[in-house]
Amino acid sequence: MANRKYTEDQRSEAIRLVSAEGHSAASVGREFSVSVGTVHRWVSDAMALRRTSPANLDATEADVAAHEQQDLESQLRGVIRRIGQLETQFEQLVQRRSTQEN
């Protein structure tokens, strides 16, 4: 594909589609008329930037990071809820065994 300059908005949208929406680099490449390697490089560069300097996140990357944080918080709530269920089951089991021994 010919050398072409892409705007920051185009790169950000491509990164968002791959990172947040789960689109393949190939489909995003076709949509933006850019090689798969270029899409991979944009995503890799964005991830490296996010790891090295969170203060430099652009709006799209910040949205992706916020979405990832919400997902992790939701997973954590689910794990905490499951721990509570297991604790309750354990207490009930201990009570039953205690009752059976008496």
Query: Could you report the per-residue pLDDT of 34-48, keeping only the tens digit for each?
Result: 999 999 999 888 888
C-alpha angle 72-76-79 in degrees, rounded to nearest 5: 140
What tokens were used for 39? 């899409």
Domain count, the chain: 1
Residue 3 lies in a domain: no
Query: pTM for this one?
Result: 0.48
Tokens matching residue 28: 């995003």
Range of the domain at 88: 8-101
Asked if residue 94 belongs to a domain, the reply is yes
Mean pLDDT estimate for the chain: 85
pLDDT 10s digits, 55-73: 655 677 777 888 888 888 9
Q: Which of 43, 52, 45, 3 is nearest to 20 (CA)?
A: 43
